[in-house]
Structure formats: C-alpha cells, structure tokens
Structure 1
Amino acid sequence: MNEPKASTAWRREWQARAVGMVVPLLAILIWQAVASAGLVNPQVLPAPVDVGHKWVEYLLPLQAYEEHGGRIWWSSAWWAWAFSGELVVDTLTSLYRVVVGFAIGGGLALPLGLAMGAIPAVYAWMNPLVQLLRPIPPIAYIPLAILWFGLGNPPAVFLIALGAFFPVLMNTIAGVRQVDGIYLRAARSLGAGRGTVFYRVILPAAVPYILSGVRIGIGTAFIVVIVSEMIAVNNGLGFRILEAREYFWSDKIIAGMITIGMLGLAIDIGMNRLNNYLLRWHRGLEH
C-alpha cells in the first residue's frame, strides 16, 4: 500500500530540517569546547551555556519569577507575566516597526512598479530618479530621518519603508516587463482589451517576481530596523544590543544576535511557505 503523499512530504521536510541542524549543533559543540578549555577570554566570547542562561534571563522577567517563589505559572495573571519579559517586548516592538515600515514601503512600491512596468511613458519619466536613489543605502538617510522626524518610531519606520521600497519596486518592474510576448499577442488576438490583458495576463505572470521582491524586501526591512534601533529609539532588539555593548555584556549581545537570527529565519520560512501556497498553480512547484 502506497504511503500518502502528504505523509511522504512531511517526512522529507523533517529529514531536511534534521540534516540542516547538524552543522549548527557541531558549531555549538566546538564553541563550547573552546570556551571550556579557556582558549578565549569569556568576556570576549562567552560559552554557549552562559549565552543560553543570559537568553533565558532576557526572555523572562526572572526577578518577578523569584519574587513569586517559582509559582507564577499558577497565578491567574501568568500570561501577563510571560509577555512582560524584556526580550518579548523588544521583539514585538521590532516586529511592529518592520510590519508598519514594510506596509508603507511595499504599498507604495507595488503600484508604482506595476505602472512603470506596464506603461513605457511612466518608466521613461521615473526610471532615472529610481536609478539615482536606489544605490543609496537606507543607513545614509539616518541624519535626515532624525532631522525630519525627530526620535522614536517615525524615523525608524521611514528607514524601514525606504529599505523595503526598492526590492519590491525593482522586482515588480522586472516581473511586468519580462512577461513573454507570445502571451500578450495571444490575448490580443482573442480580442482582449488593454485592461483585460493587464489583469488576466501581465499581473498573474508577474506575481512570482512580486513575491520574490516581497521576500527580499522583508529581509531588508528587518536588517534596517536593527540599525535604526541603534540610533533613533530607546527600545527594540537593536537598541538592546547597543546597550549591552556599552556595558560590555558580550553574552547579552550574542543572545540578542541569536534572537535576531531566529526571528529572521522564522520570517523567511513563513514567507517561503506563503509563496509556495500562493504559487501552487505555478509550473514546477510540487503540490
């Protein structure tokens, strides 16, 4: 009896994840061995065990836990305690900035990219300005962002929107402009008007490019939020890493970096699953 396709796919997925964990686990073991042997200064590179302990302290409000004698989980307000940890608050704050900034940047880039890709006159007018601004990194706008918006969330959101804008824009333009001409000619020969060609042919063909741009844009937005939080705000993962650097808390710095990596990995996995779901009709993707 053949094994169900869903079960086979699930098993392959977990086998791939297990293989992918080999190298990180090996790196952690080597790191622990080097630290335990005293080959490096623990202030410069603390052991993974120490980093893990600091990560737990960063995640949970241990002072409140100790004050309640370890019985906080039996309290009716345990959920409020669990989500009051510094790491949880910083992570949610950073995610909020990413979501708002990406929504603004991507929301502006998508219609402009569609217009530039589909209308030659719009492309001719806007492309020189886009190509002039695109190579400028968002970090270069930090002084202007602070000057224009002051401190707090507005300059961080502006920088994130700027970082997400160009990946979505350029991929959208490429997706629209690289639609195979045979599809356009076939639609027109069947009597399709300009609007029908755009909505029924150009837009569906450009969706894979647009989703790739969204995935890259979210990754860029997450990078920019960490940088902006080191300068313009007083909370978030980037701010906390900078604060730890000031006090030379290398274990907390690494704990914050690991958190950023885990969060970025989770976002990328989520975007990849969303892309596969939305593009399940696309040739070459397994069902």
Structure 2
Amino acid sequence: MRKWKFNLKGIWVPILVLVVWEAVVRLGLVNPQVLPSPSSVVVRWYHYLLPLEAYDPATTSYWKWFFSGELIHDLLASLYRVAVGFFVGAGLALPLGLMMGASTHIYDYLNPLVQVVRPIPPIAFIPLAILWFGLGDPPAVFLISLGVFFPVLMNTIVGVRAVDSIYIRAARNMGAGPVVMFLKIMLPAAMPYILSGIRIGIGTGFICMIVAEMIAVNNGLGYRILEAREYFWSDKIIAGMLSIGLLGLAIDTGVSRLNNYLLRWHRGLE
C-alpha cells in the first residue's frame, strides 16, 4: 500500500506539467507549430500508432493489420538494432573484462589501448562506420555495440578486481584451483558490477541507436523524428520522443527486474 502511495505522489508533477503546457498553448502564449499542445501530440501519436488503411476483417487478421502500423514497425526495427548491438558489444566486453580483471599481465597490455579509445564518443565513429559498412543496419549496430562495449568492459574489470581478498585466500586454503576460483568466487562476487555495467551499457546503446537511425537508416524511431523535422511536424517529433521514452522505460524496468532476480542472494546479505 505504501508503494502505491509513493507511485501516486510521483504522478502529480507530470500531470501538473501537462496541464500548464496545455493551458499555455491554448492561451496562445506560444506558437503551436513550435510547441504543440499535449492533446495534439496524443492525437498524432494515435495516428502514428495505427495503420493508414482501415481494418477490414474480410482481408486480413486484426493483429496483422495492427502490426503493419508505422509506429509498431519503427519500434520493432529499433528494438532489433538495440538487441543485436547489445549482444555483440556485451559478448565482446564480458570475456575481455573478465580476463583483464583476473590477469594483471593482460590488464597491463590492453589497458593503455582501452583508455585511449574509451573517451571517444561512439557518435564520432559515424563517418568511419558509414565508410566501413555503408548505410543500413550494419553501421547502426556497430555504433550501438560501441556504446554498450565500454560500460560493460570497465564495470566487469572493476568488479573482478574488487573481489575481497578474504574470499580468495579462503578458497585457496580449501584447495580451489584457478578454474574453480574464477567460476565460483570471482565471477559471482563481480556479478553486481557486471549487471550494473550491462544496465548502463543498454542505456548508452539506446542513445547511439537513436543517433544512428537519424543518419544511416530509413526506418526506426530516430529516423521518424528526423523525417518529422523535415516537414515541420513538431507534434510528431514529440510523439516520437514520447515513444522513445516509453521504450527506454520498458527496457530499463525489465533490466532492473532481471538484476534484482539474479542478485536476490546478494540483496539478502545486505
């Protein structure tokens, strides 16, 4: 009950912002072409969601008709790029981070290169990504992978290197070998850091996805916002931004729930 009260408290501020926003536009204090009212944004979002063609049960099923809508098509395209980019970036960062965290020699060899490349924003790689991969999904996936790679890598390294030496000494005294030490001691102890890096990496990859879609592809939420800017459809721009926010919230909530589930043993120790 207390949780629901907290959630209800958090609703009042957005509602107040929407009411003031609607009043400002309707009173003519701002140009609706520059800042459309929330009601017009909702109407545009509704038309963005539904297909242009009217539903005809004699020719197609409802779900096939619904998923042919522009917004659904863009959402699926953006989700596909985020998913592929995440698995590529995290799939490369996790083993490399575990090796760099567990081995001082590997860390000393690779860390200078990592520290030189890491501060470069993934957006700066856009010209090279287009030169290397052309247009379409490959450059977008490349940029998303870069956005995911370094947060996961650095958090994994920190997590492995932050394992309490008491655990390591205790495992050695009990005769644990290097493989058991790594799988049973270091990896579980570093898991909170790794999952935190994954959560940050998904957020960074999501930002890179929007930027890449504005430049290298012809569908997706980022592309649709750029298209709306060309036609000065400010209500569709904000509708696209709303869709991005809702999608990001859904992804972050899912990752947070997964983290809580995987770290339930860790929560119990706190």
Asked if TM exceeds 0.5, the reply is yes
Q: Select 2:72's aligned residue among 88, 112, 124.
A: 88
Pair 1:189–1:285, CA change in 2 (3 A): closer
5+ long unaligned stretches in structure 2: none
**Deviation of 1:76 (Å):** 5.3
**Deviation of 1:191 (Å):** 1.4
Q: What residue in structure 1 maps to residue 195 of structure 2?
A: 211
Matched, 1:264 2:254: no
One-letter code of the match for 1:258?
L
Provide, for residues 232-262 of structure 1, a one-character-per-residue CA deviation record: whole Å limited to 9, x for no partner.
0011000000000011100000000011011
Q: Select 1:27's aligned residue among 17, 21, 24.
A: 17
Conserved in 2, the CA contact under 8 Å of 1:279 and 1:285?
Answer: no
Aligned partner of residue 265 in structure 2, secondary structure: coil
Q: What residue in structure 2 maps to residue 77 of structure 1?
A: 61
Counterpart mapping for 1:172-211 below 5 A: 172-211=156-195
Counterpart mapping for 1:239-278 below 5 A: 239-278=223-262
Aligned partner of residue 222 in structure 1, secondary structure: helix
Aligned partner of residue 264 in structure 2, secondary structure: coil
Q: What residue in structure 2 maps to residue 156 of structure 1?
A: 140
**Deviation of 1:13 (Å):** 3.9
Distance in 2 between the 1:128 and 1:184 partners? 27
Q: What residue in structure 1 maps to residue 47 of structure 2?
A: 57
Distance in 2 between the 1:251 and 1:262 partners? 16
Distance in 1 between the 2:15 and 2:117 partners? 42
Distance in 2 between the 1:148 and 1:268 partners? 31
5+ long unaligned stretches in structure 1: 1-10
Matched, 1:46 2:36: yes
In the alignment of these two chains, the number of paired residues is: 270
One-letter code of the match for 1:41?
N
Conserved in 2, the CA contact under 8 Å of 1:163 and 1:221?
Answer: yes
Q: What residue in structure 1 maps to residue 263 of structure 2?
A: 279
Conserved in 2, the CA contact under 8 Å of 1:276 and 1:285?
Answer: no
Provide, for residues 176-212 of structure 1, a one-character-per-residue CA deviation record: whole Å limited to 9, x for no partner.
0000111111111111112111111100000000000
Q: Give TM-score scaled by structure 2 length.
A: 0.96
Q: What residue in structure 2 maps to residue 113 of structure 1?
A: 97
Provide, for residues 40-69 of structure 1, a one-character-per-residue CA deviation record: whole Å limited to 9, x for no partner.
0000000000000000010001x312xx5x
Provide, for residues 253-285 of structure 1, a one-character-per-residue CA deviation record: whole Å limited to 9, x for no partner.
000001101111111111111100010001457
Distance in 1 between the 2:264 and 2:166 partners? 23
Matched, 1:233 2:217: yes
**Deviation of 1:73 (Å):** 6.6
Distance in 1 between the 2:237 and 2:230 partners? 10
Question: Superposition RMSD on alpha carbons, in Å?
Answer: 1.5
Pair 1:125–1:157, CA change in 2 (3 A): same
One-letter code of the match for 2:151?
P
One-letter code of the match for 2:53?
A
Aligned partner of residue 15 in structure 1, secondary structure: helix
**Deviation of 1:20 (Å):** 2.1
Q: Give TM-score scaled by structure 1 length.
A: 0.91
Q: Determine what percentage of the aligned residue pairs are the same residue.
A: 67
Pair 1:273–1:45, CA change in 2 (3 A): same
